[in-house]
A and B are shown apart, each in its own frame.
Chain A
Amino acid sequence: MKYDWSWSVFLDTSSDGVHSYLHNLGLGALWTLGLSGTTAVCALVLGALIGVLRTARSPALNAIGTVYVEVFRNIPLLVQMFLWYFVLPEVLPKSLGQAIKGMPAPWNAFVPALLCLIFYATARIGEQMRSGIQSLPKGQYQAALALGLTPAQAYRRVVLPEAFRIMIPPLTSEFMGIVKYSSVAMTIGLLELTGQARAMQEFSFHIFEAFSAATLGYLLINGTLVLAMRALERRLAVPGLIGAGSAGKGGPS
Protein backbone atom coordinates (compact mmCIF):
# COMPACT_ATOMS: atom_id res chain seq x y z
CA MET A 1 0.00 0.00 0.00
CA LYS A 2 1.45 3.32 -1.06
CA TYR A 3 0.70 5.69 1.73
CA ASP A 4 3.07 8.20 3.30
CA TRP A 5 2.60 8.06 7.04
CA SER A 6 3.38 11.39 8.57
CA TRP A 7 2.65 11.94 12.22
CA SER A 8 4.07 15.44 12.05
CA VAL A 9 1.01 16.48 10.04
CA PHE A 10 -0.74 17.19 13.36
CA LEU A 11 1.52 20.19 13.85
CA ASP A 12 0.80 21.62 10.40
CA THR A 13 -1.39 24.68 10.18
CA SER A 14 -4.97 23.66 9.58
CA SER A 15 -7.47 25.11 7.15
CA ASP A 16 -8.28 28.09 9.37
CA GLY A 17 -4.75 29.32 8.78
CA VAL A 18 -4.09 29.95 12.47
CA HIS A 19 -4.22 26.79 14.57
CA SER A 20 -2.59 23.40 14.12
CA TYR A 21 -4.63 20.28 13.37
CA LEU A 22 -3.75 19.05 16.87
CA HIS A 23 -5.27 22.18 18.39
CA ASN A 24 -8.45 21.69 16.37
CA LEU A 25 -8.71 18.02 17.32
CA GLY A 26 -8.31 19.01 20.98
CA LEU A 27 -11.05 21.58 20.54
CA GLY A 28 -13.21 18.90 18.92
CA ALA A 29 -12.59 16.59 21.89
CA LEU A 30 -13.75 19.37 24.24
CA TRP A 31 -16.99 19.76 22.28
CA THR A 32 -17.47 15.99 22.43
CA LEU A 33 -16.93 16.11 26.19
CA GLY A 34 -19.25 19.09 26.63
CA LEU A 35 -22.00 17.55 24.54
CA SER A 36 -21.86 14.05 26.00
CA GLY A 37 -21.27 15.26 29.58
CA THR A 38 -24.31 17.56 29.57
CA THR A 39 -26.35 14.84 27.90
CA ALA A 40 -25.33 12.25 30.49
CA VAL A 41 -26.27 14.44 33.46
CA CYS A 42 -29.64 15.54 32.06
CA ALA A 43 -30.54 12.08 30.75
CA LEU A 44 -29.73 10.46 34.09
CA VAL A 45 -32.17 12.74 35.92
CA LEU A 46 -34.88 12.52 33.25
CA GLY A 47 -34.26 8.79 32.75
CA ALA A 48 -34.89 8.19 36.45
CA LEU A 49 -38.20 10.00 36.06
CA ILE A 50 -39.13 7.81 33.06
CA GLY A 51 -38.13 4.70 35.01
CA VAL A 52 -40.46 5.72 37.83
CA LEU A 53 -43.30 6.41 35.38
CA ARG A 54 -42.79 3.02 33.74
CA THR A 55 -43.01 1.18 37.09
CA ALA A 56 -45.68 3.35 38.72
CA ARG A 57 -48.94 1.73 39.84
CA SER A 58 -50.98 4.23 37.79
CA PRO A 59 -51.85 3.01 34.24
CA ALA A 60 -51.92 6.61 32.97
CA LEU A 61 -48.35 7.31 34.14
CA ASN A 62 -47.32 3.91 32.71
CA ALA A 63 -48.75 4.86 29.34
CA ILE A 64 -46.95 8.22 29.26
CA GLY A 65 -43.64 6.52 30.03
CA THR A 66 -44.21 3.76 27.47
CA VAL A 67 -45.14 6.16 24.67
CA TYR A 68 -42.11 8.33 25.37
CA VAL A 69 -39.70 5.40 25.40
CA GLU A 70 -41.11 3.76 22.28
CA VAL A 71 -41.11 7.00 20.28
CA PHE A 72 -37.59 8.09 21.09
CA ARG A 73 -36.03 4.63 21.17
CA ASN A 74 -37.47 3.48 17.86
CA ILE A 75 -36.54 6.41 15.60
CA PRO A 76 -32.96 6.23 14.28
CA LEU A 77 -30.70 8.75 15.97
CA LEU A 78 -29.65 10.32 12.67
CA VAL A 79 -33.28 10.95 11.75
CA GLN A 80 -33.94 12.49 15.16
CA MET A 81 -30.93 14.77 14.68
CA PHE A 82 -32.41 16.04 11.41
CA LEU A 83 -35.86 16.45 12.97
CA TRP A 84 -34.48 18.64 15.77
CA TYR A 85 -32.28 20.65 13.43
CA PHE A 86 -34.41 21.13 10.33
CA VAL A 87 -38.01 20.35 11.21
CA LEU A 88 -38.44 21.77 14.73
CA PRO A 89 -37.78 25.45 13.78
CA GLU A 90 -40.36 25.12 11.00
CA VAL A 91 -43.20 23.87 13.21
CA LEU A 92 -42.63 26.38 16.01
CA PRO A 93 -44.15 29.88 15.84
CA LYS A 94 -42.29 31.87 13.22
CA SER A 95 -40.46 34.29 15.52
CA LEU A 96 -39.25 31.49 17.78
CA GLY A 97 -38.17 29.45 14.75
CA GLN A 98 -36.22 32.41 13.41
CA ALA A 99 -34.55 32.93 16.79
CA ILE A 100 -33.41 29.29 16.81
CA LYS A 101 -32.09 29.49 13.27
CA GLY A 102 -30.35 32.78 14.03
CA MET A 103 -28.28 31.47 16.93
CA PRO A 104 -24.56 32.08 16.42
CA ALA A 105 -22.36 29.15 15.41
CA PRO A 106 -21.57 26.69 16.86
CA TRP A 107 -24.57 27.00 19.22
CA ASN A 108 -27.00 26.70 16.33
CA ALA A 109 -25.78 23.12 15.91
CA PHE A 110 -24.92 22.40 19.55
CA VAL A 111 -28.36 23.13 21.00
CA PRO A 112 -30.35 20.89 18.60
CA ALA A 113 -27.70 18.18 19.00
CA LEU A 114 -27.93 18.41 22.78
CA LEU A 115 -31.74 18.24 22.77
CA CYS A 116 -31.64 15.28 20.41
CA LEU A 117 -29.13 13.34 22.47
CA ILE A 118 -30.91 14.09 25.76
CA PHE A 119 -34.28 12.86 24.45
CA TYR A 120 -32.70 9.74 22.97
CA ALA A 121 -30.50 8.91 25.95
CA THR A 122 -33.40 9.54 28.36
CA ALA A 123 -35.43 6.84 26.61
CA ARG A 124 -32.58 4.37 26.87
CA ILE A 125 -31.63 5.18 30.48
CA GLY A 126 -35.34 5.14 31.36
CA GLU A 127 -35.54 1.53 30.19
CA GLN A 128 -32.46 0.59 32.21
CA MET A 129 -33.95 2.33 35.20
CA ARG A 130 -37.15 0.32 34.78
CA SER A 131 -35.30 -2.99 34.63
CA GLY A 132 -33.17 -1.90 37.60
CA ILE A 133 -36.28 -1.14 39.66
CA GLN A 134 -38.03 -4.33 38.54
CA SER A 135 -35.03 -6.45 39.45
CA LEU A 136 -35.48 -5.49 43.09
CA PRO A 137 -37.50 -7.85 45.25
CA LYS A 138 -41.11 -6.60 45.47
CA GLY A 139 -40.84 -6.87 49.24
CA GLN A 140 -38.55 -3.85 49.39
CA TYR A 141 -41.26 -1.46 48.18
CA GLN A 142 -44.00 -3.18 50.17
CA ALA A 143 -41.93 -3.13 53.36
CA ALA A 144 -41.29 0.58 52.85
CA LEU A 145 -45.04 1.20 52.55
CA ALA A 146 -45.68 -0.99 55.58
CA LEU A 147 -43.29 1.19 57.56
CA GLY A 148 -45.58 4.11 56.83
CA LEU A 149 -43.71 5.75 53.92
CA THR A 150 -45.77 7.26 51.11
CA PRO A 151 -45.14 5.79 47.60
CA ALA A 152 -43.06 8.88 46.75
CA GLN A 153 -40.96 8.44 49.87
CA ALA A 154 -40.60 4.71 49.21
CA TYR A 155 -39.18 5.45 45.75
CA ARG A 156 -36.97 8.28 46.98
CA ARG A 157 -35.58 6.52 50.10
CA VAL A 158 -35.62 2.82 49.26
CA VAL A 159 -36.25 1.82 45.64
CA LEU A 160 -34.23 4.41 43.70
CA PRO A 161 -31.04 4.28 45.82
CA GLU A 162 -30.95 0.52 45.36
CA ALA A 163 -31.85 0.65 41.68
CA PHE A 164 -29.14 3.23 40.97
CA ARG A 165 -26.51 0.95 42.49
CA ILE A 166 -27.66 -2.03 40.46
CA MET A 167 -27.66 0.15 37.36
CA ILE A 168 -24.06 1.34 37.54
CA PRO A 169 -22.62 -1.31 35.15
CA PRO A 170 -25.25 -0.87 32.40
CA LEU A 171 -25.12 2.88 32.99
CA THR A 172 -21.37 2.82 32.33
CA SER A 173 -22.04 1.27 28.92
CA GLU A 174 -24.74 3.83 28.27
CA PHE A 175 -22.47 6.77 29.14
CA MET A 176 -19.81 5.33 26.83
CA GLY A 177 -22.53 4.98 24.22
CA ILE A 178 -23.43 8.66 24.63
CA VAL A 179 -19.81 9.66 24.02
CA LYS A 180 -19.78 7.56 20.86
CA TYR A 181 -23.12 8.58 19.47
CA SER A 182 -22.42 12.25 20.10
CA SER A 183 -20.44 11.92 16.86
CA VAL A 184 -23.75 11.97 14.97
CA ALA A 185 -23.82 15.72 15.75
CA MET A 186 -21.23 16.03 12.98
CA THR A 187 -24.02 15.61 10.45
CA ILE A 188 -25.60 18.92 11.46
CA GLY A 189 -22.28 20.73 11.28
CA LEU A 190 -20.95 20.54 14.83
CA LEU A 191 -17.19 20.12 14.63
CA GLU A 192 -16.75 17.68 17.51
CA LEU A 193 -13.97 15.09 17.56
CA THR A 194 -15.15 13.05 14.56
CA GLY A 195 -16.07 16.23 12.68
CA GLN A 196 -12.59 17.68 13.24
CA ALA A 197 -10.97 14.41 12.15
CA ARG A 198 -13.07 14.49 8.99
CA ALA A 199 -12.16 18.13 8.36
CA MET A 200 -8.50 17.27 8.86
CA GLN A 201 -8.53 14.43 6.35
CA GLU A 202 -10.46 16.58 3.90
CA PHE A 203 -7.60 19.08 3.75
CA SER A 204 -4.46 17.18 4.56
CA PHE A 205 -5.59 13.91 2.90
CA HIS A 206 -3.90 12.16 5.86
CA ILE A 207 -6.97 10.10 6.62
CA PHE A 208 -5.35 7.36 8.71
CA GLU A 209 -3.55 9.81 10.98
CA ALA A 210 -6.71 11.89 11.42
CA PHE A 211 -8.91 8.97 12.38
CA SER A 212 -6.17 7.34 14.48
CA ALA A 213 -6.18 10.52 16.53
CA ALA A 214 -9.98 10.44 16.82
CA THR A 215 -9.86 6.77 17.84
CA LEU A 216 -7.27 7.54 20.49
CA GLY A 217 -9.40 10.44 21.70
CA TYR A 218 -12.50 8.27 22.13
CA LEU A 219 -10.45 5.52 23.80
CA LEU A 220 -9.02 8.00 26.29
CA ILE A 221 -12.39 9.56 27.08
CA ASN A 222 -14.17 6.23 27.46
CA GLY A 223 -11.23 4.59 29.27
CA THR A 224 -11.28 7.38 31.85
CA LEU A 225 -15.03 7.03 32.10
CA VAL A 226 -14.81 3.29 32.85
CA LEU A 227 -12.22 3.85 35.58
CA ALA A 228 -14.29 6.64 37.11
CA MET A 229 -17.47 4.55 37.08
CA ARG A 230 -15.65 1.59 38.68
CA ALA A 231 -14.36 3.86 41.42
CA LEU A 232 -17.87 5.23 41.91
CA GLU A 233 -19.29 1.71 42.10
CA ARG A 234 -16.80 0.72 44.79
CA ARG A 235 -17.42 3.91 46.75
CA LEU A 236 -21.19 3.54 46.73
CA ALA A 237 -21.21 -0.20 47.39
CA VAL A 238 -23.41 -1.27 50.31
CA PRO A 239 -22.11 -4.54 51.80
CA GLY A 240 -24.47 -7.43 51.20
CA LEU A 241 -26.53 -5.66 48.52
CA ILE A 242 -27.01 -7.39 45.16
CA GLY A 243 -24.76 -6.29 42.36
CA ALA A 244 -22.75 -3.72 44.26
CA GLY A 245 -20.32 -5.67 46.45
CA SER A 246 -18.81 -7.66 43.62
CA ALA A 247 -16.96 -4.74 42.02
CA GLY A 248 -13.86 -4.87 44.19
CA LYS A 249 -13.61 -8.64 44.16
CA GLY A 250 -12.97 -9.24 40.50
CA GLY A 251 -16.57 -10.13 39.78
CA PRO A 252 -17.93 -10.12 36.24
CA SER A 253 -18.85 -6.43 36.41
Chain B
Amino acid sequence: MMKALCGIAVALSFTLAAGAAQAQSRVDTIRQTGSITLGHPETSVPFAYLDGNQKPVGYTVEICEKIAGEIKAALGLPKLDIRYNPTTSATRIPLLANGTIDLECGNTTNNVERHKLVAFAPTTFVAQVVLMARKDGGVDVNDPASFRGKTIAAQAGGQTFKVISQINAKNNLGITVAGAKDTAEAFLMVETGRAAGTANDDGLAYGQVASSKDPSAFIIGTKSLEIAPYGIMEPKDDPEFKKLVDAAVLKLIKDGTVAALYDKYFNAPIPPRGINLKYPMSPALKKALANPTDSGDPADYQ
Protein backbone atom coordinates (compact mmCIF):
# COMPACT_ATOMS: atom_id res chain seq x y z
CA MET B 1 0.00 0.00 0.00
CA MET B 2 2.83 2.40 0.96
CA LYS B 3 4.48 1.82 -2.39
CA ALA B 4 1.33 2.67 -4.30
CA LEU B 5 0.84 5.85 -2.29
CA CYS B 6 4.40 7.00 -2.87
CA GLY B 7 3.83 6.35 -6.55
CA ILE B 8 0.74 8.53 -6.56
CA ALA B 9 2.56 11.33 -4.72
CA VAL B 10 5.50 11.21 -7.11
CA ALA B 11 3.21 11.14 -10.17
CA LEU B 12 1.30 14.11 -8.78
CA SER B 13 4.48 16.12 -8.20
CA PHE B 14 5.63 15.46 -11.77
CA THR B 15 2.29 16.49 -13.24
CA LEU B 16 2.41 19.75 -11.33
CA ALA B 17 6.06 20.38 -12.17
CA ALA B 18 5.37 19.74 -15.85
CA GLY B 19 2.55 22.26 -15.73
CA ALA B 20 4.91 24.88 -14.30
CA ALA B 21 7.36 24.55 -17.18
CA GLN B 22 4.91 25.56 -19.85
CA ALA B 23 2.99 28.19 -17.86
CA GLN B 24 2.66 31.57 -19.53
CA SER B 25 2.30 34.96 -17.94
CA ARG B 26 -1.14 35.92 -16.65
CA VAL B 27 -0.82 39.06 -18.72
CA ASP B 28 -1.17 36.95 -21.88
CA THR B 29 -4.15 35.02 -20.54
CA ILE B 30 -5.89 38.22 -19.50
CA ARG B 31 -5.29 39.66 -22.94
CA GLN B 32 -6.56 36.52 -24.67
CA THR B 33 -9.66 35.91 -22.56
CA GLY B 34 -10.56 39.52 -21.81
CA SER B 35 -11.25 38.55 -18.21
CA ILE B 36 -9.55 38.53 -14.83
CA THR B 37 -10.58 36.35 -11.88
CA LEU B 38 -10.45 37.68 -8.33
CA GLY B 39 -10.35 35.22 -5.43
CA HIS B 40 -12.05 36.47 -2.27
CA PRO B 41 -12.93 35.14 1.20
CA GLU B 42 -16.61 35.45 2.08
CA THR B 43 -16.64 36.28 5.79
CA SER B 44 -13.69 38.61 6.40
CA VAL B 45 -15.51 41.84 7.30
CA PRO B 46 -14.58 44.46 6.14
CA PHE B 47 -11.84 43.15 3.82
CA ALA B 48 -13.84 40.73 1.71
CA TYR B 49 -17.35 39.53 2.42
CA LEU B 50 -20.78 39.25 0.82
CA ASP B 51 -23.30 42.09 0.84
CA GLY B 52 -27.11 41.76 0.99
CA ASN B 53 -27.21 40.64 -2.66
CA GLN B 54 -24.52 37.97 -2.11
CA LYS B 55 -22.10 40.04 -4.15
CA PRO B 56 -18.48 40.19 -2.93
CA VAL B 57 -17.60 43.58 -1.45
CA GLY B 58 -15.00 44.91 0.93
CA TYR B 59 -11.91 47.03 1.23
CA THR B 60 -9.51 44.61 -0.47
CA VAL B 61 -12.08 43.46 -3.04
CA GLU B 62 -12.64 47.05 -4.15
CA ILE B 63 -8.91 47.70 -4.39
CA CYS B 64 -8.68 44.64 -6.66
CA GLU B 65 -11.54 45.90 -8.83
CA LYS B 66 -9.67 49.19 -9.25
CA ILE B 67 -6.51 47.24 -10.10
CA ALA B 68 -8.47 45.45 -12.83
CA GLY B 69 -9.47 48.86 -14.18
CA GLU B 70 -5.83 49.96 -14.24
CA ILE B 71 -4.78 46.73 -15.99
CA LYS B 72 -7.48 47.27 -18.61
CA ALA B 73 -6.15 50.77 -19.29
CA ALA B 74 -2.49 49.71 -19.26
CA LEU B 75 -3.08 46.88 -21.75
CA GLY B 76 -5.43 48.99 -23.87
CA LEU B 77 -8.18 46.37 -23.75
CA PRO B 78 -11.64 47.35 -25.07
CA LYS B 79 -13.22 45.54 -22.15
CA LEU B 80 -12.16 43.44 -19.18
CA ASP B 81 -14.64 41.15 -17.40
CA ILE B 82 -14.12 40.75 -13.67
CA ARG B 83 -14.97 37.28 -12.41
CA TYR B 84 -15.19 36.31 -8.76
CA ASN B 85 -14.19 33.06 -7.12
CA PRO B 86 -14.65 32.44 -3.38
CA THR B 87 -11.59 31.17 -1.50
CA THR B 88 -10.80 29.86 1.98
CA SER B 89 -7.48 29.76 3.79
CA ALA B 90 -7.05 26.20 2.50
CA THR B 91 -7.91 26.87 -1.14
CA ARG B 92 -6.29 30.25 -1.81
CA ILE B 93 -2.80 28.89 -2.60
CA PRO B 94 -3.82 26.01 -4.91
CA LEU B 95 -6.34 28.17 -6.80
CA LEU B 96 -3.73 30.86 -7.34
CA ALA B 97 -1.10 28.33 -8.38
CA ASN B 98 -3.30 26.45 -10.86
CA GLY B 99 -4.58 29.59 -12.54
CA THR B 100 -8.19 29.53 -11.32
CA ILE B 101 -7.72 32.95 -9.76
CA ASP B 102 -5.33 35.73 -10.78
CA LEU B 103 -5.32 37.70 -7.52
CA GLU B 104 -6.42 36.86 -3.98
CA CYS B 105 -8.19 39.81 -2.39
CA GLY B 106 -8.74 39.22 1.31
CA ASN B 107 -6.75 39.49 4.49
CA THR B 108 -3.70 37.35 3.84
CA THR B 109 -0.65 38.14 5.94
CA ASN B 110 2.46 38.86 3.95
CA ASN B 111 5.31 37.04 5.69
CA VAL B 112 8.75 36.06 4.47
CA GLU B 113 8.00 32.35 4.67
CA ARG B 114 5.13 32.66 2.20
CA HIS B 115 7.28 34.32 -0.46
CA LYS B 116 8.51 30.83 -1.34
CA LEU B 117 5.08 30.01 -2.73
CA VAL B 118 3.41 33.27 -3.76
CA ALA B 119 4.17 36.93 -4.39
CA PHE B 120 2.50 39.91 -2.73
CA ALA B 121 1.42 43.31 -4.01
CA PRO B 122 2.52 46.37 -1.99
CA THR B 123 0.97 46.28 1.47
CA THR B 124 -2.49 47.83 1.64
CA PHE B 125 -3.31 47.10 5.29
CA VAL B 126 -1.25 46.65 8.42
CA ALA B 127 -2.94 44.57 11.07
CA GLN B 128 -1.93 44.61 14.71
CA VAL B 129 -2.63 41.70 16.99
CA VAL B 130 -4.66 43.08 19.90
CA LEU B 131 -6.66 41.74 22.83
CA MET B 132 -10.44 42.13 23.08
CA ALA B 133 -12.58 41.54 26.17
CA ARG B 134 -15.92 42.30 27.79
CA LYS B 135 -15.95 45.69 29.51
CA ASP B 136 -17.22 44.09 32.72
CA GLY B 137 -14.59 41.33 32.62
CA GLY B 138 -12.24 43.01 35.08
CA VAL B 139 -9.23 42.78 32.78
CA ASP B 140 -7.04 45.36 31.04
CA VAL B 141 -6.98 44.70 27.30
CA ASN B 142 -3.64 46.47 26.98
CA ASP B 143 -1.96 44.29 29.58
CA PRO B 144 -1.83 40.52 28.94
CA ALA B 145 -0.72 40.03 32.57
CA SER B 146 -4.19 41.07 33.78
CA PHE B 147 -5.55 37.87 32.20
CA ARG B 148 -3.64 35.73 34.71
CA GLY B 149 -5.59 32.55 35.49
CA LYS B 150 -8.18 33.34 32.81
CA THR B 151 -8.76 32.06 29.29
CA ILE B 152 -7.96 33.81 26.04
CA ALA B 153 -9.45 32.43 22.81
CA ALA B 154 -7.66 32.60 19.48
CA GLN B 155 -8.00 30.88 16.14
CA ALA B 156 -6.56 27.38 16.56
CA GLY B 157 -3.43 27.02 14.48
CA GLY B 158 -3.47 30.71 13.57
CA GLN B 159 -0.81 33.37 13.93
CA THR B 160 -2.63 35.11 16.80
CA PHE B 161 -2.74 31.83 18.71
CA LYS B 162 1.02 31.60 18.37
CA VAL B 163 1.57 35.20 19.49
CA ILE B 164 -0.51 34.97 22.66
CA SER B 165 0.86 31.51 23.52
CA GLN B 166 4.40 32.82 23.29
CA ILE B 167 3.67 35.89 25.42
CA ASN B 168 2.01 33.62 27.96
CA ALA B 169 4.92 31.19 28.06
CA LYS B 170 7.63 33.84 28.12
CA ASN B 171 6.16 35.83 31.01
CA ASN B 172 4.74 32.80 32.80
CA LEU B 173 1.29 34.40 33.00
CA GLY B 174 -0.71 31.20 33.57
CA ILE B 175 -3.25 32.10 30.89
CA THR B 176 -5.18 29.24 29.28
CA VAL B 177 -5.09 29.76 25.53
CA ALA B 178 -8.12 28.08 23.97
CA GLY B 179 -8.41 27.32 20.28
CA ALA B 180 -11.43 28.29 18.19
CA LYS B 181 -12.18 27.50 14.56
CA ASP B 182 -12.26 31.12 13.38
CA THR B 183 -12.74 34.72 14.47
CA ALA B 184 -16.50 34.37 14.78
CA GLU B 185 -16.16 31.39 17.10
CA ALA B 186 -13.45 32.98 19.22
CA PHE B 187 -15.81 35.92 19.70
CA LEU B 188 -18.67 33.57 20.60
CA MET B 189 -16.44 32.09 23.30
CA VAL B 190 -16.09 35.51 24.89
CA GLU B 191 -19.81 36.24 24.50
CA THR B 192 -20.74 32.99 26.27
CA GLY B 193 -18.14 33.47 29.00
CA ARG B 194 -16.02 30.51 27.94
CA ALA B 195 -13.09 32.89 27.50
CA ALA B 196 -12.26 36.23 29.12
CA GLY B 197 -10.90 37.68 25.91
CA THR B 198 -9.60 37.00 22.42
CA ALA B 199 -6.36 37.70 20.64
CA ASN B 200 -7.09 38.80 17.10
CA ASP B 201 -6.06 41.03 14.22
CA ASP B 202 -7.49 44.45 15.01
CA GLY B 203 -9.40 44.91 11.72
CA LEU B 204 -11.28 41.66 12.29
CA ALA B 205 -11.81 42.43 15.98
CA TYR B 206 -13.43 45.78 15.12
CA GLY B 207 -15.61 44.05 12.52
CA GLN B 208 -16.66 41.38 15.01
CA VAL B 209 -17.50 43.80 17.82
CA ALA B 210 -19.34 46.21 15.54
CA SER B 211 -21.59 43.46 14.20
CA SER B 212 -22.34 41.95 17.64
CA LYS B 213 -25.66 42.38 19.45
CA ASP B 214 -24.27 44.94 21.88
CA PRO B 215 -21.02 46.54 20.63
CA SER B 216 -20.78 48.76 23.74
CA ALA B 217 -20.22 45.69 25.95
CA PHE B 218 -16.77 45.02 24.50
CA ILE B 219 -13.47 46.82 24.52
CA ILE B 220 -10.62 46.42 22.05
CA GLY B 221 -7.01 46.98 23.08
CA THR B 222 -4.74 49.53 21.43
CA LYS B 223 -1.45 47.92 22.40
CA SER B 224 -0.10 45.96 19.46
CA LEU B 225 1.27 42.52 20.37
CA GLU B 226 2.53 41.94 16.84
CA ILE B 227 2.35 43.58 13.43
CA ALA B 228 1.04 41.72 10.39
CA PRO B 229 1.04 43.39 6.95
CA TYR B 230 -1.75 42.24 4.62
CA GLY B 231 -1.13 42.07 0.90
CA ILE B 232 -3.04 41.09 -2.20
CA MET B 233 -1.62 37.73 -3.29
CA GLU B 234 -0.16 37.35 -6.76
CA PRO B 235 1.08 34.20 -8.52
CA LYS B 236 4.75 33.39 -7.97
CA ASP B 237 7.34 33.73 -10.72
CA ASP B 238 5.29 35.93 -13.05
CA PRO B 239 7.32 39.17 -13.07
CA GLU B 240 5.40 40.65 -15.99
CA PHE B 241 2.07 40.32 -14.18
CA LYS B 242 3.53 41.41 -10.82
CA LYS B 243 4.94 44.55 -12.40
CA LEU B 244 1.56 45.40 -13.89
CA VAL B 245 -0.36 44.82 -10.64
CA ASP B 246 2.20 46.53 -8.42
CA ALA B 247 2.21 49.60 -10.65
CA ALA B 248 -1.58 49.73 -10.39
CA VAL B 249 -1.47 49.42 -6.57
CA LEU B 250 1.19 52.13 -6.29
CA LYS B 251 -0.91 54.43 -8.45
CA LEU B 252 -4.00 53.78 -6.30
CA ILE B 253 -2.00 54.48 -3.13
CA LYS B 254 -0.47 57.68 -4.55
CA ASP B 255 -3.71 59.16 -5.87
CA GLY B 256 -5.49 58.61 -2.57
CA THR B 257 -7.91 55.92 -3.78
CA VAL B 258 -6.74 53.46 -1.13
CA ALA B 259 -7.12 56.01 1.67
CA ALA B 260 -10.61 56.87 0.40
CA LEU B 261 -11.56 53.17 0.37
CA TYR B 262 -10.19 52.87 3.91
CA ASP B 263 -12.57 55.58 5.07
CA LYS B 264 -15.41 53.99 3.15
CA TYR B 265 -15.00 50.65 4.91
CA PHE B 266 -13.54 51.50 8.33
CA ASN B 267 -15.09 54.87 9.22
CA ALA B 268 -18.51 54.84 7.59
CA PRO B 269 -21.56 52.54 7.65
CA ILE B 270 -20.89 49.48 5.48
CA PRO B 271 -23.32 47.02 3.86
CA PRO B 272 -25.23 44.87 4.51
CA ARG B 273 -26.40 46.16 7.90
CA GLY B 274 -25.02 49.68 7.90
CA ILE B 275 -22.64 49.17 10.83
CA ASN B 276 -19.71 51.53 11.32
CA LEU B 277 -16.41 50.05 12.52
CA LYS B 278 -15.16 53.47 13.73
CA TYR B 279 -11.56 52.46 13.33
CA PRO B 280 -9.19 55.32 12.46
CA MET B 281 -6.14 54.51 10.35
CA SER B 282 -3.22 53.24 12.43
CA PRO B 283 0.20 54.96 12.31
CA ALA B 284 1.68 51.74 10.90
CA LEU B 285 -0.70 51.77 7.91
CA LYS B 286 -0.16 55.50 7.35
CA LYS B 287 3.54 54.79 7.18
CA ALA B 288 3.06 51.86 4.79
CA LEU B 289 0.95 54.00 2.46
CA ALA B 290 3.51 56.83 2.55
CA ASN B 291 6.36 54.42 1.73
CA PRO B 292 4.79 51.51 -0.17
CA THR B 293 6.57 48.17 0.15
CA ASP B 294 5.84 44.49 -0.44
CA SER B 295 8.19 43.40 2.33
CA GLY B 296 7.06 40.53 4.54
CA ASP B 297 9.21 41.61 7.47
CA PRO B 298 7.17 43.15 10.33
CA ALA B 299 10.19 45.28 11.29
CA ASP B 300 9.72 47.31 8.11
CA TYR B 301 6.36 48.55 9.37
CA GLN B 302 7.32 49.81 12.82
CB distance from A189 to the nearest CB of B (A): 3
CB distance from A71 to the nearest CB of B (A): 24
CB distance from B165 to the nearest CB of A (A): 7
CB distance from B172 to the nearest CB of A (A): 16
B166 at the interface (CB under 8 A from A): yes
Q: Which of A2, A212, A216 has the most CB of B within 10 A?
A: A2
Q: Which residues of A sit under 8 angstroms from B159, Cβ to Cβ?
A: 15, 202-203
B113, A205: Cβ atoms under 8 Å? yes
| Complex Cα gap A177–B180 (Å) | 24
Nearest-neighbor residue (CB-CB) of A102 within chain B: B151
Q: A204, A207, A223: which contacts B90 (Cβ < 8 A)?
A: A207
CB distance from B228 to the nearest CB of A (A): 13
| Complex Cα gap A143–B187 (Å) | 61
| Complex Cα gap A201–B92 (Å) | 11
Q: A186, A207, A223: which contacts B94 (Cβ < 8 A)?
A: A207
Nearest-neighbor residue (CB-CB) of B163 within chain A: A15
Q: B94, B162, B165, B192: which contacts A3 (Cβ < 8 A)?
A: B94
Known: A1-B16, A1-B20, A16-B165. Contact between A189 and B194, CB under 8 A?
Answer: no
Chain B 70-90 interface mask (CB, 8 Å, partner A; 1/0): 000000000000000000011
Nearest-neighbor residue (CB-CB) of A198 within chain B: B157
Chain A: residues with Cβ within 8 Å of the partner, total of 44
CB distance from B202 to the nearest CB of A (A): 19
A186, B181: Cβ atoms under 8 Å? yes
Nearest-neighbor residue (CB-CB) of B188 within chain A: A86
Known: A1-B19, A207-B90. Contact between A90 and B192, CB under 8 A?
Answer: yes
- Which secondary structure dominates chain B's binding surface? mixed
| Complex Cα gap A173–B165 (Å) | 39
B157, A191: Cβ atoms under 8 Å? yes
Q: A17, A201, A203, A219: which contacts B1 (Cβ < 8 A)?
A: A219
Q: Which residues of B sit under 8 angstroms from A90, Cβ to Cβ?
A: 192
Nearest-neighbor residue (CB-CB) of B15 within chain A: A1
B13 at the interface (CB under 8 A from A): yes
B178, A17: Cβ atoms under 8 Å? no
Known: A187-B181, A219-B5. Contact between A208 and B94, CB under 8 A?
Answer: yes
Q: B12, B116, B180: which contacts A205 (Cβ < 8 A)?
A: B116
A165 at the interface (CB under 8 A from B): no
Chain B: residues with Cβ within 8 Å of the partner, total of 46
- Which secondary structure dominates chain A's binding surface? helix
A108 at the interface (CB under 8 A from B): yes
CB distance from B6 to the nearest CB of A (A): 10
Known: A2-B236, A105-B178, A212-B9. Contact between A195 and B156, CB under 8 A?
Answer: yes
B284 at the interface (CB under 8 A from A): no
Q: B23, B177, B237: which contacts A105 (Cβ < 8 A)?
A: B177
B176, A199: Cβ atoms under 8 Å? no
Known: A86-B192, A219-B1. Contact between A202 and B176, CB under 8 A?
Answer: no
Tell me the A193-221 residues at the B interface (CB within 8 Å). 195-196, 198-208, 211-212, 216, 219
Q: B17, B20, B98, B158: which contacts A202 (Cβ < 8 A)?
A: B158
CB distance from A222 to the nearest CB of B (A): 11
Chain A 1-18 interface mask (CB, 8 Å, partner B; 1/0): 111111000000001110
Known: A202-B157, A205-B117. Contact between A1 and B98, CB under 8 A?
Answer: yes
B261 at the interface (CB under 8 A from A): no
A189, B20: Cβ atoms under 8 Å? no
Known: A1-B23, A3-B117. Contact between A109 and B179, CB under 8 A?
Answer: yes
Chain A 164-191 interface mask (CB, 8 Å, partner B; 1/0): 0000000000000000000000111111
A139 at the interface (CB under 8 A from B): no
CB distance from B290 to the nearest CB of A (A): 29
* 11 examples of A-B residue contacts, CB within 8 angstroms: A1-B20, A2-B235, A2-B237, A3-B16, A15-B159, A101-B192, A190-B179, A195-B157, A201-B89, A203-B159, A219-B1
The 8 closest A-B pairs by CB, nearest first: A199-B157, A189-B179, A1-B19, A3-B97, A101-B194, A15-B162, A1-B98, A189-B156
19 A-B pairs besides A3-B94, A188-B185, A199-B157 with CB distance below 8 A are A1-B98, A2-B20, A2-B97, A5-B13, A16-B165, A89-B192, A89-B194, A101-B193, A189-B181, A189-B185, A191-B156, A191-B157, A199-B158, A202-B159, A204-B113, A207-B94, A219-B1, A219-B5, A223-B1
